[in-house]
Copies of this chain bind each other. A is one copy, B any other.
């Protein structure tokens, strides 16, 4: 039987999602717990995608195959009781054997949280990027408008990315403003390596007036990473939700 789970994790103390030798990763923690539950039989976990060190998830989706007959509503409790406290399984359900958390993902939402207040908030230091500068929100919104749609995002991913097709569609970039907190909500059919963090870094440079919204089409056309802005740090980023066809 194949199990699909929605997983939240605090990325602060992980070297990212994916298994790496001698590193603490989300995948290795979940696989260790599943292997234990399956009495030592190794269980491989597949996710909708990787997340980097310090990046958080509210709605990461994973799947794995099991021989255990645990009722779906009991799976979160069975796993959470063994998982470390910075990973929580929120939901579980049995799915068809051809379901794949990565290949069947149709849409993803990432959020990036920023605080522009002058002094840092100690309680948010690992969860929000402290960026204590005045931002021109109207310019940011104009830049967002230019970024939405189907484009080659070569300028917005790590230069050494080996994916051949760098065309992606961004459906929307919404801004949530709450006092000095600003959240960017990106939805798209997929995101390249570091793409959300580079988009955010570039939008912040637009907000500061270091770049203009009208430069965005040229940055896209240039297909050159050096044209876009800095990579915003990982700890402000959240994999928020993954959507599948039903």
A residues contacting B by CB (< 8 A) are: 8-10, 56, 76, 80, 85-90, 119-123, 125, 127
Q: Is the CB of A127 within 8 A of B122?
A: no
A85 in contact with B125 given A80-B119, A90-B119, A119-B76 (CB within 8 Å): yes
Q: Is the CB of B122 within 8 A of A8?
A: yes
B-side contacts of A125, CB under 8 Å = 10, 85-86
CA of A51 to CA of B123, assembled, Å: 16
Q: Is the CB of B120 within 8 A of A85?
A: yes
Q: A122 contacts which of B9, B120, B122 (Cβ < 8 Å)?
A: B9
With CB as the reference atom, state the residue of chain B lying closest to A11.
B122
Q: Is the CB of B10 within 8 A of A88?
A: no
Give the shortest distance, in Å, between A148 (CB) and chain B (any CB): 29
B-side contacts of A10, CB under 8 Å = 122-123, 125
With CB as the reference atom, state the residue of chain B lying closest to A76.
B119
Q: A88 contacts which of B80, B122, B127 (Cβ < 8 Å)?
A: B122
B-side contacts of A80, CB under 8 Å = 119-120
B-side contacts of A90, CB under 8 Å = 119
Can you identify 10 A-B contacts, CB atoms within 8 angstroms?
Answer: A8-B121, A10-B125, A76-B119, A80-B120, A85-B125, A88-B119, A88-B120, A88-B122, A89-B119, A123-B127
Give the shortest distance, in Å, between A135 (CB) and chain B (any CB): 21
Q: Is the CB of A88 within 8 A of B8?
A: no
Give the shortest distance, in Å, between A8 (CB) and chain B (any CB): 5
CA of A123 to CA of B235, assembled, Å: 12
B-side contacts of A8, CB under 8 Å = 121-123
CA of A127 to CA of B8, assembled, Å: 17
Give the shortest distance, in Å, between A75 (CB) and chain B (any CB): 12
Give the shortest distance, in Å, between A188 (CB) and chain B (any CB): 24
Give the shortest distance, in Å, between A163 (CB) and chain B (any CB): 30
Q: Is the CB of A123 within 8 A of B56?
A: yes
